[in-house]
Amino acid sequence: MRGMEWFGALASAALVAVLYVALLVAPEAVGEGAVQRILYIHAPSAFAAYGCIFVAAGASAVYLWKRSPAADRLAASAAEVGVLMCTFVLVTGSIWGRARWNAWWTPDPRLTLMLILWAIYVSYVLLRAFGGDDEEIAPYAAVVAIAGVLAIPAIRVSSRLMRGIHPSVIAPRDGGTGLADPYMRLALWGGAVAMLLVAAWLVTVRTRLERVEREVRAVRRAADAAEGVV
Amino acid sequence: MRAVLAIVRKDLLIEWRTRETVVTTAVLGILLVTVLAVAHDPTPAAAPALVAPVVWAAVVFTGLLGVERGFLLEREQDCLGGLRGAPIDPTALYVAKLLVNVLLLSVTQAVVVPLTGLFLRVDLWHAVPSLVVVLFLGTVGFAAVATLFAFVTVRLRTRQVMLPLLVLPLLMPLLIAAVKATEAVLGPGLGTARDAVGVLVSFDVIFVTAGLLLFPAIIRD
């Protein structure tokens, strides 16, 4: 197996191990029911989403500065995987909310923050998909990726102006109790590592695919041009 | 600085001669306010609560159109190419376009906002100074983002949908804060909405700075 397959196998194994701990080993949280275990995917997906978004913005900044096509490909891939991870967060959160709050959605600060982030990077993906030539659209897409990260502090503060009911599990200073059992913490932090690995693996695969796709498009354009000459 | 003034002068002169952007967006704003007021059909008691959301919905949608119009103008006969080739600092172009957009959007708001108060039967007169402050802060942030992205989308085939698609999610924090601040202005007073005003000011600072730094990178090629 080549490096990329090893990487994929490692990420998958980590995910399976975490699911084992999260679903079977960690004790059920008192009064929360089995649905609470969705936290072990929900919160790690959020870490991975932030990881992808920061990588996308960083790579975009490098691209604007150095104009390196590799940085642009990395940014495009990371933004796409970031959208996927945001979607995981929203979907798992929504399922949990239906069970716990009896509502799929509620205008809560953290929910709003994630939805806005999701929308920003969806617009990035749409710009890349419908904008036109890769080379022409790349600097514009880079501006979107960077602006998205710049907006995060403003989104955080402004969404707090709204009423909130989201539980605070990780940071005790926000009134969270923390996770009592060591296996719960293992499931959560192990889950974070596993999801980051999965995201990193998806980004590597996607970056390679992006390179091949662009080569194919370039060859096709050259072929079309040659045909025009004949 | 002279370059900025020259471009501002040019744009305002064009606008003065045609009055196209301000007149069309102002009328559109009035229509939007009417549509929203009619759709809600509020009781006299519920009407005041609608002012802030209706005002900002109108500001955003007329603003998007206004900003886009300004750039379509530059596209005709490749004026944009001329501006890009001119021996001026690219940030001067951004600053000039930002100033023109803030000015034109403010004129539109000066028509639309009083009419919103009229339609929804709310006396805005006593709140004019703080309302002007909130509208100004919101408009600067809006124009900082919209101006940057209007340059991004002006050459795209799909620009009519891409501009709102790119700008609206980024504007969300500004909108939340602006609506909250406007509600405070019409209710207990602007002093009670320190957080919202803080968001507005920091959004303005962050995105005007980002515009100044990022604009040269996208205008280069």
DSSP codes joined into one string, B73-101: HHHGGGHHHHHHHSSS-HHHHHHHHHHHH
Say whether pLDDT at B86 is over 80: no
Helix (H) or strand (E) holding A45: helix A39-66
* Residue B217 to residue A143, Cβ atoms within 8 A: yes
Residue of A nearest to B155 (CA): A131
Say whether pLDDT at B100 is over 50: yes
Q: Residue A168 has what pLDDT? A: 66
Residue of A nearest to B164 (CA): A123
- CB–CB contacts below 8 A, A to B: 96
**Average pLDDT for chain B:** 86
A13 contact partners, CB below 8 Å, separation of at least 6: none
Contacts of A126 in chain B (CB under 8 A): 162, 165
Do A80 and A213 meet the contact criterion of CB atoms below 8 Å apart?
A: no
Q: Is the dihedral of CA B171, B174, B177, B183 positive or negative?
A: negative
pLDDT band at A175 (very low <50, low <70, confident <90, very high): very low
Distance CA B118, CA B111 (A): 11
pLDDT band at A149 (very low <50, low <70, confident <90, very high): very high
Distance CA B119, CA B33 (A): 8
| Mean per-residue pLDDT, A161-189 | 68
Contacts of A119 in chain B (CB under 8 A): 168-169, 172
CA distances for A195 relative to A118, B88, B142, angstroms: 17, 48, 36
Distance from CA of B152 to the nearest CA of A (A): 6
Say whether pLDDT at A33 is over 80: no
Q: Residue B145 has what pLDDT? A: 94
Quick check: A205 contacting B, CB < 8 Å? no
Distance CA A96, CA B191 (A): 38
- Quick check: helix, strand or coil at residue B114? helix
Q: Token match 């957080």: residue? A: B195
Contacts of B220 in chain A (CB under 8 A): 139
Q: Residue A163 has what pLDDT? A: 67
Q: Residue A84 has what pLDDT? A: 96
pLDDT tens per residue, range A63-118: 999 889 899 999 999 999 999 999 999 999 989 888 888 888 887 788 888 999 99
58-87 in B: which are within 8 Å (CB) of A? none
Say whether pLDDT at B155 is over 90: no
Nearest to A146 among B153, B198, B214 (CB): B214
Q: Residue B205 has what pLDDT? A: 95
* Residue A127 to residue B166, Cβ atoms within 8 A: yes
Quick check: B202 contacting A, CB < 8 Å? yes
Nearest to A64 among B148, B196, B217 (CB): B217
**Average pLDDT for chain A:** 85
Quick check: A116 contacting B, CB < 8 Å? yes
Neighbours of A163 (CB within 10 A): 9
* Identity of the residue numbered A184: M
Q: What is the ipTM of this complex?
A: 0.83
* Identity of the residue numbered B11: D
| Mean per-residue pLDDT, B108-126 | 87
* Residue A120 to residue B169, Cβ atoms within 8 A: yes
Q: Residue A230 has what pLDDT? A: 55
Residue of B nearest to A116 (CA): B169
Quick check: B201 contacting A, CB < 8 Å? no
A65, A130, A143: which to substitute to probe chain B, counting the most B Cβ within 10 Å?
A: A143
C-alpha closest to that of B71 among B163, B161, B136: B163
Distance CA A90, CA B198 (A): 28
Contacts of B217 in chain A (CB under 8 A): 64, 139, 142-143
Share of chain B above pLDDT 90, in %: 32
Lowest model confidence (mean pLDDT) among A163-167, A171-175, B41-45: A171-175
pLDDT tens per residue, range B5-27: 888 888 888 888 878 788 888 88
Q: Residue A103 has what pLDDT? A: 84
Distance from CA of B169 to the nearest CA of A (A): 5
Quick check: A131 contacting B, CB < 8 Å? yes
Length of chain A measured in residues: 230
Share of chain B above pLDDT 70, in %: 99
Quick check: A129 contacting B, CB < 8 Å? no
Neighbours of B221 (CB within 10 A): 10
C-alpha closest to that of B25 among B66, B70, B84, B69: B66
C-alpha closest to that of A56 among A130, A149, A138: A149
- Quick check: helix, strand or coil at residue A138? helix
Q: Residue B171 has what pLDDT? A: 92
Say whether pLDDT at A214 is over 50: yes
